[in-house]
Amino acid sequence: VMAEKRGNSVAAGHGAHLSHPEDVADLHQKMVTDLNTLSDEATNAANEVASGGAAGAVGVVAQFVVEANRIGGEIDSTINEINSELQS
């Protein structure tokens, strides 16, 4: 639960400033990096849609969904690892 709350804060752009236990510092950084990657993907997709018009939007959105699901899976896995570390 603690990591999930952190994940939400990270997604809101505050992740780099969160304190975290040292034993999960690397996992925390991985999650921050993954969330930044997701943010970059969203920005790139929005820019592509804006520059390509409606005709290309469906393909761009479909690719973004694939990437968002992949990155989301990595973030979920990291959250599970953090929770496991904090519970041990």
Model confidence pLDDT, tens digit, residues 3-37: 444 444 444 454 555 566 788 999 999 999 999 99
For position 29, what pLDDT does the model report?
93
Q: Is 20 left (phi over 0), alpha (psi -120 to 50) or beta?
A: beta
Residue 49 CA to residue 72 CA, distance in Å, equals 22
Give the model confidence (pLDDT) of 31-70 as tens digits. 999 999 999 999 999 998 888 877 778 889 999 999 999 9
* pTM for the whole structure: 0.70
For position 50, what pLDDT does the model report?
87
pLDDT at 73 over 90: yes
DSSP secondary structure, 6-30, as one string: HHHHIIIIIGGG----GGGHHHHHH
64, 27 Cβ separation under 8 angstroms:
no
